[in-house]
Amino acid sequence: MPYVHDTLTRLKKSSPAQSEFYQATEEVLECLRPLFQQNPRYHQHSIIERIVEPERQIMFRISWIDDAGNVKVNKGYRVQFNSALGPYKGGLRFHPSVTSGTIKFLGFEQIFKNALTGLPIGGGKGGSDFDPKGKSDNEIMRFCQAFMSELHRHIGPHSDVPAGDIGVGAREIGYLFGQYKRLTGRYEGVLTGKGLNWGGSLGRKEATGYGAVYFAQNMLAARNEELNGKTCLVSGAGNVAIYTIEKLYELGAKPITCSDSSGTIHDANGIDLALLKQLKEVQRTSLEAYLNEHPDAHYISVRDYPQNGNAVWRIKADAAFPCATQNELTESDASALLENGVTCISEGANMPSTTEAVDLFLAAKIAYGPGKAANAGGVATSQLEMAQNSSMEQWSLEKVDKKLKEIMANIHKQCADTAEEFGEPTNLVLGANIAGFRKVADAMIEQGVT
C-alpha cells in the first residue's frame, strides 16, 4: 500500500536520524496492511498520518549542581503522543543513551500497549540523558528537582501521569513527587510508582516482570504446555528482570541467567534471587560480585560477548525473557536461541528484539510475546495505582495481583483472537498491533479531527 510507504518516507524527513522510532513505526504499520484492506475508513480519516505524529513534544534544559559545586547540564524530554483513550501515561527514563528518537519510539509503543490493557490511558514517554550511576543521593535529588521544575507545568493527574523506567526507581520517583508537591501545593496522583506510605500501590514494583511471566503462561497454556519445569533465560538485573525471576520460581520454572551493563551471570543451579536483590536493590553494584557468594556460577564479561550478540542468549534453555533494553537480542542471538531449543519468548523490555530477530521467531512459529503486549503489566498496574489514588484507598496485594493476572490474560486473548481473525494464528505481533491500533483509531475517528 503506497500510503504506508509514503507515511514512513515523510516521517524520516520530518524526524531525521531517529532509527529506533522508524523501527517501531514500520513494525506497526506493516502489520496494519490487512486491516487497511479490510476497512478503508482508517485511510479516509488519515489515521496513520496522524497517529505517527505526537500531539505534543516538550524538550528542555536541566541545570543542576553536583557535589563538587560544578554546574551540570542535561537535556529533558516529554513526548505526549496520543490521548484518544485517556491521559498520557508512560515512564521517565534516565540513561545516557536517551535521545529524542528513543523517547518517541517508546512513546509510540506506549500508545498500543496502553490500549491493549483495556484501561482509560493514552500514550506518552519522557526522560533525560542523565546517568544516575555513580551519583550520590544528593546529586540525584538535585537533578530530579531541576527536572521536575520544568516538567510540572506539563503534567497532572487528569492530563499526563508519568511513571518510572530505566534509571528511575522508587528513589527518583520520591524526589520528583516531592518537588512537584512543593511547586504546585497539591498532593495528587501525578506520578505512579510512589512509595507505599504516600500513595503507591502494592504490586507495582513487581508488575512488569510478573506480567511478562503471566503472558508466557497464557501463551504456553494455548499450546497445552506450562512453565513448570522449564529452564529460563532472563536478561537484565533491574526491577523487570528481578521480578520476572521471582515469578518464574513461584510457577515452578528455573531461571538461570541475569545480566547488567558489565556482563552476564549463568548459574546452572538457578539464580540466587535474594542475593540478586541485595546486589542490585541495596548495594547497587556489579553482578560480578555474585561470584563472591556463588563461585561455581559463571560470569561472562561484556568483553567476551559474541561480536554480533549477547552471551545471555547463547545458553541452552526452554524459554527466554528479554528484560534489559531495546534491540538487545540480535538476529544471531535469535538463531542461537532457536537452535538451543527455546520455544517461548516473552519480552519484558520495550522492543528488545531487532526486526530480523522477530522475523526468525515468527517464521519458527514459536510462542513469541512482543513487548507491547507481554510487558503491559507495569503500565496496567500504574493505572490501578491511579484508581486507588482517585478513591483515596489502598488495595491488597492479592487484589492487585488478581487484576494483573486478569489483564494479562485478556491482553493475550485479544492478541490471539485478532491474529486468528486475520489468518495468522501464531503471529501475536500482528494481533497486538491491530488490536491496539483499532481501539485508538476508532476513538480518534469518533472524537473528530483534533
Active-site positions read: 125
Q: Where are the beta strands (DSSP E) in 235-336?
A: 254-255, 257-259, 263-266, 298-301, 319-321
Contacts of 14 by beta carbon, 8 Å cutoff, 6+ apart: 53
- Three-state secondary structure call for residue 350: coil
Phi, psi for residue 419 in degrees, rounded to 5: -60, -45
Pair 24, 109: CB distance under 8 Å: yes
Cα–Cα dist 325/46, whole Å? 32
The radius of gyration of the chain's CA atoms, rounded to the nearest angstrom, is: 21
* Cell, residue 394: 489502598
The burial of 381, by beta-carbon neighbours within 10 Å (0-12 exposed, 13-18 middle, 19 or more buried), is given as buried
- The DSSP symbol for 278 reads I
Which of 303-306's residues contact partners 24+ apart within 8 Å by CB, and which partners? Answer: 304/263, 305/264, 306/332
| H helices present in 32-120, as ranges | 33-38, 41-44, 47-51, 100-116
Pair 395, 388: CB distance under 8 Å: yes
- In sequence order, the β-bridge partners of residue 161 are 89
- Three-state secondary structure call for residue 191: coil
Pair 215, 412: CB distance under 8 Å: yes
Pair 349, 236: CB distance under 8 Å: yes
Q: At what angle do helices 100-116 and 19-31 cross, to 10 degrees?
A: 30
How far lies 6's CA from each of 17, 38, 103, 184, 363, in Å?
A: 17, 20, 23, 44, 27
Of the candidates 410, 351, 343, the one whose C-alpha atom is nearest the C-alpha of residue 377 is 410
CA triplet 387, 389, 393: central angle to 5 degrees?
A: 95
User: For the chain, how many helices (H) and strands (E)?
Assistant: 18, 13
* Cell, residue 352: 528488545
- Three-state secondary structure call for residue 366: coil
Cell match 497517529: residue?
51
